[in-house]
Amino acid sequence: MYDKVVICGVETSGLPKLSNKEQEELMIKIKAGDNNARERFIVGNMRLVLSLVKRFWSKKANADDVFQVGCVGLIKAIDNFDISVGVRFSTYAVPMILGEIKRYLRDGNSLRVSRSIRDTAYKVLKVREKLEEENDVVTYDEIAKAMNVAVSEVAYALDAISDPVSLYDPVYNKQGDTLLLMDQIFDVKNNDEVWTEKAALYEAITRLGERERNILFLRYFEGKTQTEISEQVGISQAQVSRLEKSALKRIRAEIC
């Protein structure tokens, strides 16, 4: 289904693919001011944008809009990429594209609190203010008891009217070193580094031959032995072994 997606009026199956050598050559021309090379490079990397946009399709956002925002991130990555650093463009571009999409979704997602919850929250604030005249520190339990409501209702009401905090808000800033709230959060399974590695791995696998891809799929996704694969594809176990090692070697060369 990936190849059949039509987004922003573009049929993705018709998008061109660029080899690493082509990307390097085009990037040199781009830095020299070649606009035609820049346009070819953008179109040639739209598949990368699409692969990242798919991550956000479960959210309530227009796919075309998210794709366009991802393309904006792609263009920013192209304009800011330093060819002297010695890293693959996709490695540099993925975090920028993801960041652009996340900012778009964050800024366009306003939270609406129902009137009944707001009314409860304002009552809680009045009761808390009155109780604070007698005690410096007032707990949720004391407020709930004074209002004759559950403690959870007090906590929920106050949380609902609190201003949402952006993950990109600075929590520390000294001598130009800014620390964002995002920097304090780490998800082992779903961080940008993992997505970067997955995107690079996907690109490397797509460059393999059909037989090599099939062998890797049977070996690592279906868990079959080399002997079982040899019987299924009609070649010897030794050939399966050689093709598997060759494919893995090429993948390592692509992503390392």
3-state SS assignment for residue 83: coil
Structure confidence at residue 206 (pLDDT): 84
Determine the pLDDT at residue 193. 60
Contact 59, 156 (CB under 8 A): no
Q: Which residue has the higher pLDDT, 98 or 168?
A: 98
pLDDT at 11: 62
pLDDT in tens, 183-207: 656 555 555 566 667 777 778 888 8
C-alpha distances in Å from residue 180, one per residue of 76, 112, 172 = 21, 25, 7
The confidence band for 25, taking pLDDT boundaries of 50, 70 and 90, is: very high
CA distances from 61 to 3, 51, 91, 121, 208 (A): 21, 16, 26, 30, 34
Mean pLDDT taken over the chain: 79
- Which pLDDT belongs to residue 205? 84
Question: All domains of the chain, ordered by start, with CATH?
Answer: 2-107 (1.20.120.1810), 115-161 (1.10.10), 197-255 (1.10.10.10)
pTM of the complete model: 0.42
Distance between CA 124 and CA 143 in Å, rounded? 7
pLDDT mean over 139-144 = 90
Q: State the pLDDT confidence band at 83, using cuts at 50, 70 and 90.
A: confident
State the pLDDT confidence band at 30, using cuts at 50, 70 and 90: very high
Neighbour-count burial for 106-138, b at 16+ CB within 10 Å, e otherwise? eeeeeeeeeeeeeebbeebeebbeebeeeeeeb
CA distance 240 to 216: 10
Percent of the chain beyond pLDDT 70? Answer: 74
Residue 104: C-alpha distances to residues 69, 141, 179, 187 (Å): 7, 39, 21, 21
**Is the confidence at residue 94, as pLDDT, over 70?**
yes
